Amino acid sequence: MQLRRRLAALLIAGGAWTGAMAQASQGWVVEFTWNYEAQSTRTLREGRTGPGGADTRISATADARIAVQARGTMAFTDKLRGAAAVNMPDSRNEQRYDSWRFKGGRPAFASIDVAAQLDQAARLNQADGEGANLVNAERKGLIGRVQHERLRVEAKAAGDDAGWLGDHADLQIDRVANKLMIVNRIDLQPNRKAVKATRSFVKRMDKPAAAGEWDRSAPDEEAWRLLPEIMRLDKFEFDIPPGADQFTVTRQYEANQLPDPLDSLGWPFPSDLGDASKLRDRQYRARATLTLSVRRRAASEAASPAVAAPAAAADATPQPGAAPPGAAPKPEPAKAPPSGATDEAIDAVRKLRGLLGR
């Protein structure tokens, strides 16, 4: 009986401590702004191309372009224990690390203009080897002539739901090192439900097609596979003011800190584009700016009624006998648990775990 009473008291104390801690901290809100411009062009030297390398490449130029402006809000509301990032010192110390998770799956404002294009010309030769008979039959009367091809994929849109925050992200605040880290990247991508990617293609013999001339141009879901990503940064780390509940950090990125968009493009873009020895010319420029406005979630929620109050007061019509708007009592702000009570509760939970053999 005595043991049961002690267990009940410890459970009550542990529950009170857990509830108090949940009220005292409700996560963080991060409002981000992302501005990104990039353009990459690569031209290949003459070489072999086509089926089995039978054809002679005369020219091949790939171009990728990105222009993105985006902003959105990420609410990190799921509490994580200890450090969110791996290989952190004293990683289980919850007093040092304040870590939370953003679940993802949210729209974001974005203005997106992204495209990739491949122009190539090759002299068609007699094919040899496996499948050569079929290839040569299709090329009857074309052997020795120059074939020009152009492929273009693009996506362009702007709106409150043109961007999409896909996968989850983790926020970690290190109170000892005074650093903010966002792990698992900010997964900003085009919202495929609101933005349509287009694939255009044209083929001509002996001379290239005129600008804007296409044999086929239409929306194509497969085109997303060929488009470069609009935010390819895996980890963000910033120095922050000690003990601050609200702050803003900004970082500017130069071309050498940003991935070249042509590096991520696969077939039908030639694999030789990734071989520096086969490039005749290469040009790449890029710049980006990321701004994070960070605040405790409890503080942001407390500010919301104050913003909405003037509009509500203007729309309300006083009723006979009703109390004036200013007569409503002000809600009491939530109070953090006393330090002594919190320490006693922690000790109580530890004793409970000891009694249960955990």
> What is residue 191's three-state secondary structure?
coil
pLDDT of residue 301: 58
- Residues 168 and 185: their CA atoms lie apart, in Å, by 8
pLDDT of residue 126: 86
pLDDT of residue 307: 37
Q: How far is CA 182 from CA 74, 205, 234, 255, in A?
A: 11, 52, 9, 22
> What is residue 137's three-state secondary structure?
helix
- Write the DSSP string, 193-204: TT--EEEEEEEE
pLDDT of residue 134: 87
The answer to whether the beta carbons of residues 145 and 125 sit under 8 Å apart is: no
pLDDT of residue 185: 85
Closest to 15 (Cα-Cα) out of 337, 334, 333: 337
Report the predicted TM-score, pTM, of the whole model to 2 decimal places: 0.74
How many alpha carbons lie under 13 Å from residue 96 in its C-beta half-sphere?
A: 13
pLDDT in tens, 227-282: 999 998 877 899 999 999 999 999 999 999 999 999 989 889 999 999 999 999 99
Show Cβ contacts of residue 209 under 8 Å, excluding neighbours closer than 6 positions.
148, 150, 202, 203
The answer to whether the beta carbons of residues 179 and 237 sit under 8 Å apart is: yes
pLDDT of residue 53: 78
- Residues 186 and 247: their CA atoms lie apart, in Å, by 19
- Residues 280 and 258: their CA atoms lie apart, in Å, by 23
Closest to 114 (Cα-Cα) out of 40, 41, 64: 64
pLDDT of residue 302: 43
Q: What letter would DSSP give residue 235?
A: -
Closest to 227 (Cα-Cα) out of 67, 6, 48: 67
pLDDT of residue 354: 54
The answer to whether the beta carbons of residues 60 and 133 sit under 8 Å apart is: no
Which residue stretches of the chain have pLDDT < 70? 1-25, 299-358
- Residues 95 and 12: their CA atoms lie apart, in Å, by 23
- According to DSSP, the β-strands at 146-165 and 78-80 are unpaired
Residue 72 structure tokens: 């959105």
Residues pairing with 47 in the sheet: 57
> What is residue 250's three-state secondary structure?
strand
Q: Where are the domains of the chain?
A: 28-313
* SS3 sequence of 168-181: CEEEEEECCCCEEE
Burial status of residue 253 (CB atoms within 10 A of its CB: 0-12, 13-18, 19 or more): middle
pLDDT in tens, 104-148: 899 999 999 999 999 999 999 988 877 788 888 888 888 999 999
CA angle 233, 259, 62 (to 5 degrees): 140
Query: What are the residue ranges of helices labelled H in 29-172?
Result: 132-138
Q: How many CB atoms lie within 10 A of CB 287?
A: 14
